[in-house]
Amino acid sequence: DYTAGIDGVESDYRGWTAYSHAGKLVVEMAGEAVTGVYGVDGKTYHYGLLKAGTNVLDVPAGLYVVAVKDFSRRVLVK
């Protein structure tokens, strides 16, 4: 279940976090923003607006770069 909520990202001034849970890519956003999800294979898996709150993206297992505005984070989805 994805009930962790947005409370866990208060210390991240960027207002978002991304992680893997149950084989899915989870992106938690403090506000809506255009988000890019890129595989290390160079493929774009998502590019568009994500809503505030918890967004669950179904992507194949692999290493991804999640980018919002001027910051990116790597996430390994197993």
Please tell me the predicted confidence (pLDDT) of residue 9.
46
Contacts with 10 (C-beta within 8 Å, 6 or more apart), sequence order: none
Of 5 and 61, the one with more pLDDT: 61
Tell me the C-alpha distance between 14 and 22, whole Å.
Answer: 25
pLDDT in tens, 50-64: 999 999 999 999 999
Tell me the C-alpha distance between 74 and 64, whole Å.
Answer: 6
Contact status, residue 36 vs residue 67, Cβ threshold 8 Å: yes
Report the chain's terminal Cα–Cα distance, integer Å.
17
Of 22 and 5, the one with more pLDDT: 22
